[in-house]
Structure 1
Amino acid sequence: MSAVLERTSRFADSAPAIDSTAFSRLRGFHTGAREMGDTVCAVHGRLPVWLQGRLLLNGPAVWELPEGAYRHWFDGLAMWHRLQFAGGHVLYRSRLADSQSARLARAAGRPVMGEFATADTEPWLSRLTHFFRPRASDNPSVAMSRIGERWVACTQTPHLISFEPDSLATIGELAHDDDLDLALMAAHGMTDSRGDYWNIGIEFGRRCTYRLFRIAASGTRRESIAAIQVPRAGYLHAFARSASHVLFVEAAWRAQPLAFLFTRRAYAANFRWEPGSASAIHAISLADGSVQRWETPPVMSFHPVQAFEDGRELVLDLCDYPDAGVIDDLALDRLRAGVRHRAAPRLTRYRLRPGCADAQIERLGTGFELPQIHPSRPEQGAARWAWGAGYDAGERNHFLDRTVRIDLHTGDRLEWQRPGAIQLEPLFVPRPGASDEDDGVLLVPTLADGDASTVIAVLDPRRMECLATIQAPQVVPFGFHGVFQPR
Structure 2
Amino acid sequence: MYQVMNAGGGKKGLETIAPLVRSVEETPDPIPAKIQGTIPHWINGSLLRDGPAKFEFGNTHYNHWFDGMAMLHKFKMEKGQVTYTSRFLRSDAFKKNSERDRIMVSEFGTLALPDPCKNIYQRFFSYFQMIKPTDNGNVNFVKYKGDYYVSTESNMMHKVNPESLETLEQVDWSTFCAVNSTTAHPHYDPDGTCFNMGNSYGITGPQYNIIAVPPEKSDAEDTLQGAKVLCSITPASRTQPSYYHSFAMSENYFVFIEQPSKIDVVSLATCKLRGKAFYDAIYWTPELETILHLIDKRTGKASPVKYYTKGFFSFHQINAFEEDGFLMLDICCYDDGRTLDIYLLQNLRKSGEALDEVYNNTGRGFPRRFVLPLHVTDDTPTDQNLNTRPFSTATCVKENTNRVFCQHEDLHNDDFYQYGGLEFPCINYERYNTKPYRYFYGCGLRHLFGDSLLKMDLNDKTLKVWYQKGFFPSEPVFVASPNAVEEDEGVILSVVLCPSQEKGTFLLVLDAKTFEELGKASVPVNMPYSIHGVFNAST
TM-score clears 0.5: yes
Counterpart check, 1:318 vs 2:331: yes
Residues 419-434 of structure 1: pairs in structure 2 closer than 5 A: 419-434=469-484
With normalisation by structure 2, the TM-score equals: 0.81
Instruction: Provide closer, same or farther for how the CA distance between residues 169 and 332 of structure 1 changes in structure 2, counting only shifts above 3 A.
Output: same
Matched, 1:383 2:433: no
Residue 190 of structure 1: CA displacement? 2.4
Q: Report SS of the residue matched to 1:184.
A: coil
- What do the CA deviations read for 1:183-206 (whole angstroms, capped 9, x no partner)? 332221223333332210011244
Matched, 1:164 2:161: yes
Contact 1:196 1:216 in 2 (8 A): yes
Question: How many Å apart are 1:181 and its aligned residue?
Answer: 3.4
For 1:228 and 1:380, the matched residues in 2 are separated by: 22
Q: Is the 8 A contact 1:56 1:83 kept in 2?
A: yes
What is the identity percentage for the equivalent residue pairs of Structure 1 and Structure 2?
26
The one-letter amino acid of 1:302's match is F
Are residues 1:225 and 2:230 paired?
A: yes
Kindly provide the amino acid, as one letter, of the partner of residue 227 in structure 1: S
Give the distance between the partners of 1:61 and 1:31, measured in 2 at CA: 5
Query: Does 1:262 find its partner at 2:247?
Result: no
SS of 1:376's equivalent in the other structure is helix
Maintained 8 Å contact 1:399/1:422: yes
- Please give the alpha-carbon distance, in whole angstroms, between the structure 2 residues aligned to 1:177 and 1:335: 34
Instruction: Provide the rounded CA distance (Å) in 2 between the counterparts of 1:378 and 1:131.
Output: 49
User: Structure 1 counterpart of 2:425, which letter?
Assistant: P
Counterpart of 1:4 in structure 2 is: none
Structure 1 residues 20-64: Cα deviation after superposition (integer angstroms, max 9, x where no partner): 5xxxxx422111232331111111111112100111011000012
Whether contact under 8 Å (1:320, 1:345) holds in the other structure is: yes
Aligned to 1:116: 108
Aligned residue for 1:359, secondary structure, equals: strand
Partner in structure 1 of residue 411 of structure 2: 364
Mapped to 1, the partners of 2:183 and 2:319 lie a distance apart of 16
Q: Which amino acid aligns with 2:373?
A: R
**Structure-1-length-normalised TM-score:** 0.90
Kept in 2, the 8 Å contact 1:200–1:213? The answer is yes
Answer whether contact 2:292 2:307 (CA < 8 A) is retained: yes
Corresponding position: 1:44 with 2:36? yes
Q: Which residue of 1 aligns with 2:65?
A: 73
- Is the CA contact 1:17–1:337 (under 8 Å) kept in the aligned structure 2? no
RMSD between superposed Cα atoms in Å: 2.3
Asked if 1:482 corresponds to 2:533, the answer is: yes
- 1:179 deviation in Å? 6.1
Q: Structure 1 residues 361 and 377 mapped into 2: Cα distance closer, same or farther (>3 Å)?
A: farther
Q: Is the 8 A contact 2:174 2:180 kept in 1?
A: no
Which residue matches 2:372? 352
AA partner of residue 313 (structure 1): F
Residue of structure 2 in register with 1:7 after alignment: none
Judged with a 3 Å threshold, the aligned counterparts in structure 2 of structure 1 residues 199 and 16 are, in CA distance, closer, same or farther, namely same
Flag the 1:452–1:129 CA change in 2: closer, same or farther, 3 A.
closer
Tell me which moved more, 89-98 or 264-273.
Answer: 264-273
Cα deviation, 1:227-257, whole Å, max 9, x if unaligned, reads 1111232111011211111112111011112
Amino acid at match of 1:224: V
Whole-Å separation in 2 of the counterparts to 1:163 and 1:28: 25
> What is the match of residue 321 of structure 2?
308
* Counterparts of residues 239-318 of structure 1 (less than 5 Å): 239-264=247-272, 265-292=276-303, 293-318=306-331
Deviates more, 1:217-226 or 1:74-83: 217-226
SS of structure 1 residue aligned to 2:314 = strand
Question: C-alpha distance in 1, partners of 2:517/2:208?
Answer: 42
The one of 456, 461, 475 aligned to 2:507: 456
Structure 1 residue 160: Cα displacement = 2.0
Letter in 2 for 1:148: K
| 467-476 vs 347-356, which moves further | 347-356
Distance 1:128 1:283 in 2: 43
C-alpha separation in 1, matches of 2:133 and 2:114: 11
Q: How far apart, CA to CA, are the structure 2 residues paired with 1:243 and 1:127?
A: 52
Q: CA deviation at 1:157?
A: 0.8
List gaps (5 residues or longer) in structure 1. Answer: 1-13, 21-25
Equivalenced residues, count: 465
Alignment of 1:173-252 (within 5 A): 173-175=170-172, 180-205=177-202, 206-217=204-215, 218=217, 219-221=223-225, 222-230=227-235, 231=237, 232-252=240-260
Task: Tell me, yes or no, if the aligned pair for 2:155 and 2:172 is still in contact at 8 Å.
Answer: no
Closer, same or farther: CA 244–127 of 1 in aligned 2, 3 Å: farther
Q: 1:363 is aligned with what amino acid?
A: D
Q: 1:406 aligns with which of 426, 440, 456?
A: 456
Match 2:427 to one of 373, 385, 388: 373
Alignment check: 8 A CA contact 1:241 1:378 kept: no
Once residues 456 and 232 of structure 2 are traced to their aligned partners in structure 1, the CA distance between those partners, rounded to angstroms, is 34
Give 2:49's aligned residue: 57
Q: Which has the larger radius of gyration?
A: 2
CA distance in structure 2 between the aligned counterparts of 1:434 and 1:167, rounded to whole angstroms: 30
- For residue 242 of structure 2, give the secondary structure of its aligned residue in structure 1: coil
SS in 2 for 1:300: coil
Structure 1 residue 130: deviation in Å? 12
Cα distance in 1 for partners of 2:41, 2:101 equals 46
User: Are 1:127 and 1:134, in contact at CA under 8 Å, matched by a contact in 2?
Assistant: no
- 1:131 to 1:408, Cα distance in 2 relative to 1, 3 A: farther
Q: Which residue of 2 aligns with 1:437?
A: 487
1:89 is displaced (CA, Å) by: 1.0
Cα displacement string for residues 121-177 of structure 1 (whole angstroms, at most 9, x for unaligned residues): 356847969978641111000011111221011111111211000110101212458
Distance 1:276 1:486, change over 3 A: same
Contact 1:53 1:484 in 2 (8 A): yes
Name the CA distance, whole Å, in 2 between partners of 1:32 and 1:178. 34
- Shift of residue 16, structure 1, vs aligned partner: 4.1
Q: Contact between 2:286 and 2:337, CA under 8 Å: does it hold in 1?
A: no
Q: Which residue of structure 2 aligns with residue 415 of structure 1?
A: 465
- Quick check: 187-196 or 439-448, which moved more? 187-196
